[in-house]
Amino acid sequence: MIHRARVPCTSHPAAGYLAKWGQAMTLSIGGAACPAQGVFEYNRSFDVEAFASKYRGVTRLSLKAGAVLFAQGEAADCMFYLQAGRIQVSIVSNHGKEAILGVVEPGDFCGEGCLLGRIRIATAACIADSAVVRIERTAIVSAVRYDTQFAEFFLVYALTTIIRLRESLISQHFDSSEKRLARVLLLLANYGKEGAQDNVIKNVDQEALAQMIGTTRSRVNHFMNKFRRLGYIDYNGTIVVKPALLDAVLRESPLTAPEAA
């Protein structure tokens, strides 16, 4: 999910954690609303060094594609922050049916359920070579409990996650599978994300896309061929998403051929 906002509140103590990207919010500071310049944003560039020096409990990992960060059913004693690469989060039902819950992009956390001290409800595995930071639960709990800056930062992150899940649920109920696929492709291609270098999707196949949007692989194949025919994507192993797909989704109309200039 993509949110963009300004961060003029550089004098606010939370400004070190919050910059560049996010959902604009005004938070209550010490019982009083932050003034006009207190509108700030969630920072995807989490300062790992600053956190590690203050709270410890940080381990940097270089993982190959296929490496598992945590497995469904394990005890949740840490969370992870992705600096580079891509992580897929999936779940298996009691009947053995697998579903992909989402893909974690650089600058996002995963495994936040450890804060509740529960077992893992899903499995997280790298689908590309990745640089990952493991953060122990005790360090996160200490930061949230004793550091107002970090508590505010993490609150905004949690709220953006809730909003993303709500939007996904709404889309699942009201959008066609074709439009859900278009939205997922835009998300995976980082459209609108500040600092994105390209709009290429790697390491995601049609079966994974089908699980993400709740349809069959054959339907995804049909829509992918249609999108390629309409000039929305180039597709040959990797997927290149073109701006025309974003225009089609924003029109909130059936996905048809783009109008001639």
- Output the pLDDT for position 45: 65
Structure tokens at 89: 């989060």
Q: How many domains does the chain divide into?
A: 2
Any residues with CB less than 8 A from the CB of 115 and at least 6 apart, and which? 79, 137, 140, 141, 144
Tell me, yes or no, whether 20 lies in a domain. no
Tell me, yes or no, whether 66 lies in a domain. yes
Distance CA 219, CA 118 (A): 36
3-state helix, strand, coil in the chain (%, to 5): 40, 25, 40
Same domain, 130 and 214: no
- pLDDT tens track for 206-234: 998 998 888 999 999 999 999 999 999 99
- pLDDT tens track for 7-57: 333 333 333 433 333 333 333 333 333 333 333 345 456 899 999 999 999
Q: Which of 120, 140, 160 is the last residue of a domain?
A: 140
Tell me, yes or no, whether 210 lies in a domain. yes
Q: Which helix (H) or strand (E) holds 190?
A: none
- In terms of residue numbers, what domain contains 127? 48-140
Judged against a pLDDT cut of 90, whether residue 258 lies above it is answered with no
Same domain, 182 and 129: no
**Coil, helix or strand for 28?**
strand
- Output the pLDDT for position 21: 32
Does the pTM exceed 0.75?
no
Tell me, yes or no, whether 61 lies in a domain. yes
Tell me, yes or no, whether 162 lies in a domain. no
The stretch 254-258 carries a mean pLDDT of 64
- Check which CATH number belongs to the domain holding 112 and give it: 2.60.120.10
Tell me, yes or no, whether 221 lies in a domain. yes
Tell me, yes or no, whether 26 lies in a domain. no
- Check which CATH number belongs to the domain holding 204 and give it: 1.10.10.10
The stretch 145-171 carries a mean pLDDT of 88
Contact 37, 227 (CB under 8 A): no
Tell me, yes or no, whether 123 lies in a domain. yes
